[in-house]
């Protein structure tokens, strides 16, 4: 028997089918016995366990969990723009996503779960039904979806239909689907109010892409705060960037042509703010004496550039942690209800802002 077992192990990995055939039992009975089910007689369990030991059977990790109705696996999907241009590849995006991934990983690990990371395009989820297919397969216990694009999210109707544990990060896309996001509009309001308190009346805004959800909220916050302060609104004070440093440089060159010239610029992310800073300094202007400058994100760049950049700090790591908590709560709850969390960002004042007309 030992010789036969040795030859068999060289040919293929021993499976439940092998044990079932050897004992003349059904595959289902063997599976239940291996999982110590009370539906199987003790004598049958003993025979199955002895055969499993004799044949050197090792259970498949995922198969064993799926047979119990759970995989201990959470899907973390990042909706990364179009197939031709994936937002994931941008340096600014990586600085945004990395704390989320780390927080999700740590929280799930502490609760005995793993996560499967996928970056998907808008075309894959809307036309190819990638997320719908995964939910129907039931290979995951739950899913987190990080979104960034202003698109039609009706493809997520299956979440409510299947009562599948699901949380959207970075946006609220439907009342019936749980979400954890950051109040970008409030962050922008804080930035503009800070500049207004410093006496600035002509403030330009460098927005992110026109259809980006974060950019949209920050742009609305800027516009609302400007109206509240009674600032004169001029469409030329708004420039659409692409989150990259180069677009900040181009925007600053446009702002420099305006009359009157803005005394302050609020940028929708730090990378573009660095581009603005470079263009202003090349033009012989001083920051903050001639132009005050505010970014958004509080990346490491803020404390590397000179002057150090005033910015808006986002609790993205907390967003990841609370998102993981929320999807696990849905898994463990008998009748989970959709919840929505809107986290407050923080204005970090450094050296790039000063009172308007401060020449010293």
Same domain, 166 and 77: yes
- Residue 151 belongs to a domain: yes
Assign 296 a pLDDT band (cuts: 50, 70, 90): very high
CB 118 within 8 A of CB 76: yes
Assign 61 a pLDDT band (cuts: 50, 70, 90): very low
**Domain hosting residue 78, numbered range:** 73-182+316-343
User: pLDDT tens digit string along 215-272?
Assistant: 999 999 999 999 999 997 789 999 999 999 999 999 999 999 999 999 999 999 999 9
Residue whose C-alpha is closest to residue 317's, from 347, 339, 343: 343
Nearest 5°: the CA angle 243, 244, 246 is 135
**pTM of the model as a whole:** 0.79
Same domain, 277 and 211: yes
Pairing of strands 292-294, 340-343: unpaired
Return mean pLDDT, the chain.
Answer: 88
Residue whose C-alpha is closest to residue 266's, from 346, 355, 189, 358: 189
Assign 35 a pLDDT band (cuts: 50, 70, 90): confident
- Residue 242 belongs to a domain: yes
Same domain, 177 and 190: no
- Residue 169 belongs to a domain: yes
Residue 12 confidence (pLDDT) above 80: no
Same domain, 49 and 116: no
Q: Say what the pLDDT of residue 65 is.
A: 45
Same domain, 190 and 305: yes
- Residue 350 belongs to a domain: no
Residue whose C-alpha is closest to residue 204's, from 239, 230, 243, 173: 239
- Residue 352 belongs to a domain: no
CB atoms inside a 10 Å sphere around CB 217: 21
Same domain, 189 and 304: yes
Q: Give the CATH number of the domain where residue 38 resides.
A: 1.10.260.40
Tell me the CA distances in angstroms from 58 to 10, 45, 63, 240, 256, one per residue in order.
15, 16, 11, 57, 69
Residue 112 confidence (pLDDT) above 80: yes
Residue 78 confidence (pLDDT) above 80: yes
Same domain, 146 and 200: no
Say how many domains are in the chain. 3
Q: Give the CATH number of the domain where residue 126 resides.
A: 3.40.50.2300
Q: Say what the pLDDT of residue 66 is.
A: 47
């Amino acid at each position: 028997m030992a010789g036969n077992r040795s030859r068999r192990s060289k040919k293929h990995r021993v499976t439940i089918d092998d044990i079932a055939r050897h004992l003349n039992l059904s595959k289902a009975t063997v599976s239940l016995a291996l999982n110590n089910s009370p539906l199987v007689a003790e004598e049958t369990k003993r025979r199955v366990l002895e055969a499993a030991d004799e044949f050197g059977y090792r259970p498949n990790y995922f198969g064993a969990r799926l047979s119990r109705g759970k995989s201990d696996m959470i899907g973390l999907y990042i909706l990364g723009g179009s197939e031709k241009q994936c937002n994931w590849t941008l340096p600014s995006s990586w600085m945004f996503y990395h704390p989320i991934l780390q927080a999700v990983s740590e929280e799930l690990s502490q609760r005995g779960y793993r996560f499967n990371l996928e970056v998907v395009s808008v075309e894959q989820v809307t036309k190819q039904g990638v997320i719908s297919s995964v939910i129907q397969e039931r290979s995951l216990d739950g899913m987190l979806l990080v979104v960034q694009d202003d698109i039609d999210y009706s493809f997520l109707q299956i979440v409510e239909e299947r009562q599948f544990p699901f949380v959207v990060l970075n946006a609220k896309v439907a009342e019936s689907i749980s979400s954890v996001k950051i109040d970008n509009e409030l962050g922008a309001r804080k930035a503009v109010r800070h500049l207004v308190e410093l006496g600035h009346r002509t403030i330009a805004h460098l927005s992110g892409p026109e259809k980006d959800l974060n950019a949209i909220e920050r742009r609305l916050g800027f516009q609302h705060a400007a109206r509240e302060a009674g600032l004169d609104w001029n469409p030329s004070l708004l420039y659409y960037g692409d989150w990259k440093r180069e677009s900040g440089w181009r925007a600053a060159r446009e702002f420099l042509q305006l009359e009157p010239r803005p005394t302050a610029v609020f940028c929708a992310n730090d990378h573009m703010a660095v581009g603005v800073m470079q263009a202003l300094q090349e033009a012989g202007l001083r920051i903050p004496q001639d132009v005050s400058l505010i970014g958004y994100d509080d990346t490491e760049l803020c404390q590397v550039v000179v002057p150090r950049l005033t910015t808006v700090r986002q609790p993205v790591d907390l967003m990841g942690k609370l998102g993981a908590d929320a999807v696990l709560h849905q898994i463990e709850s008998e009748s989970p209800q959709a919840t929505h969390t809107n986290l407050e960002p923080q204005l970090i004042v450094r050296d790039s802002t000063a009172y308007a007309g401060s020449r010293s």
